[in-house]
Amino acid sequence: MKKLFKKILANWPIWVILIVSLFLLRWFFKPGFPETHDGQLYLARYANFYLAFRDRHFPVRWAPNLNYKFGYPIFHFNYYTPFILGLPPIFLGADLETGLKLVILFSFFIGGLFWYLLFRKKFSPQVGLISALVYLAAPYQLTDILVRGSIGEIVAFGVFPFVLWALDRLISHPHRLNFFIATLGIAFFSLTHNIIFFFSIPVLLLFSLLVARHRQKLTFNQFLPVIASFVLAAGLTLFFWAPALLEKKYTNIDQLSQMSREYLDHFPTLKQLVYSPWGFGYSYLGPDDQMSLQLGPIHWLIALLSLALLLYDYLKTKKLNFYWLFFALIFVASIFFLLPVSIPVWQALPLVNYVQFPWRLLTFATLASAGLAAFLAQKSLKLAWLLTLISLVYISLIAKPGGWFDRDDHFYFEFPFNTSIMGANTPIWYNENHNIALDLAHINDLNNVSSFNEISWKTQEHVYDIDTLYDTQVLERTAYFPGWEVTVDGQPVTIDYQKPDYPGLITFAIPAGQHRIVSRFTEHTPARRLGDSISLASLALLFIWLKSGWWLSQKS
């Protein structure tokens, strides 16, 4: 008992982080879920991810019940990690709302925990704790959780510090376990939120370069474990990225992004970044947003004091600490890209139409302010503690949900819509307005000369028997997307998905007689074969490297 008590006392900062995390999300202990912009949509995706996983549909690409049960390729283009984290609670008996709340609570706590772990050994437990608490008290992170409900960004807030911690350990001690942790961390981060991850790549590489340079004279061999970790993580996740990038041409997303210049309407003003009232509405053109886009006045004060001290140190010693230089650069760069003055730079960048909201970069300003808080704590522990406590009081007074709902799982399993903005992931051949007006069963005979016996109807495989007196046409209540294949008695048949009366639905011809029909959503496209092959090869290579120990120590 004494040993246990000593361990608890020794790890008191972790308990503080946990208690603060639970307090700031104290509403999560009541039944139901906060009324957010996207929470209901993500709960429906969560339900469909679970259904697909239960049906052993791997990799999970198809949402069986979305799009009025015609199916929808939402997971072909949108992230996995939040829903993977949500599977254990469901399998242990939690309902969907509780499961997603546990994912959010876990991610929130993990973000603070790994800020603490990153700075604890380098400086002190108090420095690490201050950084963690400033991160937890960030207004934008609570806006994401209680107002927007963007589960991918919420989980990214937790994974980002973990990846920084893992890269720091790999650079400091390039042994097998650290290599494995860093590689899996980057891989999971890349499947957490598409846009945030793309912006994070240069940030993670810069962090790795500066940390390596700070430790010793940088050479290619010393940096090789980091390069290999990024390359292997890319290979491990190519099963997702190759189809997502190469098969988006079969959806509406490119057409919508080319038409849209929406991101130009969503640059916050400097005043909004310092302070904007807590609200539950949406982001609009100009400064009239109905949600808070603030970094927070205390976080601004922490960052500006740290930048001033950093400049003072440089002028005095002509030396720069690369850790603090990293966070200073990220802070200045993210603030620049958040403001309208950066529009010419944005317009010169590729793929910016997919960003939608430039204020997403508040993620990086928040990250940088937490790192700069650690620097301030090094210089003046009392001042840092004072500002940290004020930031916690401030956020606890303003951050709250705008409403609450409590629905049973059936609502999410039967959720009819596609859950994407303007049907971005809808197959280009599919006409939603036309098809939802049709009264269709799972299986339909267009000539009404057949009888059916449904054997099974899983996410990725539909099996049924048909008995028809004449040659006929069969229609499935399934939206066509490349990869769907149909066999009749084991022989492949051609799918016609462009019938004017059934646009984008699976139809095919069969001869008279009794037949076994199997339709499957397969990996048989060039992009999926490429991605799957490289991911499997990367997984094998990861274990080969771990076993052989090339340029990696076996000891920490």
Q: What tens digit of pLDDT does each residue of 300-318 get? A: 999 999 999 999 988 888 8
In this structure, the answer to whether residues 449 and 473 fall within a common structural domain is yes
Looking up tokens 């997603």, which residue turns up? 100
* Domain of residue 506, CATH code: 2.60.40
In this structure, the answer to whether residues 248 and 392 fall within a common structural domain is yes
In this structure, the answer to whether residues 140 and 171 fall within a common structural domain is yes
Model confidence at 352, pLDDT cuts 50, 70, 90, reads: confident
In this structure, the answer to whether residues 91 and 133 fall within a common structural domain is yes
Mean pLDDT of the chain: 92
Model confidence at 5, pLDDT cuts 50, 70, 90, reads: low
- C-alpha closest to that of 61 among 287, 241, 316: 241
103-150 pLDDT, tens digit each: 999 999 999 999 999 999 889 999 999 999 999 999 999 999 999 999
Q: How far apart are CA 395 and CA 405, in angstroms?
A: 23
Residue 298's pLDDT is: 98
Q: Is residue 59 part of a domain?
A: yes
Q: Is residue 150 part of a domain?
A: yes
In this structure, the answer to whether residues 48 and 86 fall within a common structural domain is yes
Please state the rounded mean pLDDT for residues 245-257. Answer: 86
- C-alpha closest to that of 158 among 110, 116, 194: 110
Q: Is residue 347 part of a domain?
A: yes
Looking up tokens 């912009």, which residue turns up? 37
In this structure, the answer to whether residues 153 and 277 fall within a common structural domain is yes
Please state the rounded mean pLDDT for residues 66-85. Answer: 96
Q: Is residue 354 part of a domain?
A: yes
Model confidence at 551, pLDDT cuts 50, 70, 90, reads: low
Residue 132's pLDDT is: 98
In this structure, the answer to whether residues 58 and 155 fall within a common structural domain is yes
Q: How many domains does the chain have?
A: 2
Q: Is residue 432 part of a domain?
A: no
In this structure, the answer to whether residues 88 and 133 fall within a common structural domain is yes
- N- to C-terminal Cα distance for the chain? 30
184-224 pLDDT, tens digit each: 999 999 999 999 999 999 999 999 988 887 766 666 677 88
Residue 2's pLDDT is: 59
CA 527 to chain centre: 22
Supply the range of the domain harboring residue 465. Answer: 439-522
pLDDT at 40 over 80: yes
Reported pTM: 0.94
In this structure, the answer to whether residues 353 and 482 fall within a common structural domain is no
DSSP state of 267: P
In this structure, the answer to whether residues 390 and 505 fall within a common structural domain is no
In this structure, the answer to whether residues 90 and 239 fall within a common structural domain is yes
Model confidence at 257, pLDDT cuts 50, 70, 90, reads: low
Paired sense of beta strands 443-445 and 450-457, if any: unpaired
Q: Is residue 547 part of a domain?
A: no
Q: Is residue 528 part of a domain?
A: no
Rounded to the nearest 5°, which phi and psi values hold at 509?
A: -95, 145
In this structure, the answer to whether residues 343 and 287 fall within a common structural domain is yes
- The pair of structure tokens assigned to 521 is 């959503």
Kindly give, in sequence order, each residue whose CB lies less than 8 Å from that of residue 392, ignoring residues fewer than 6 positions away: 20, 133, 136, 137
Model confidence at 398, pLDDT cuts 50, 70, 90, reads: very high
Q: Given 423, 454, 478, which residue is the final one in a domain?
A: 423
Q: Is residue 552 part of a domain?
A: no
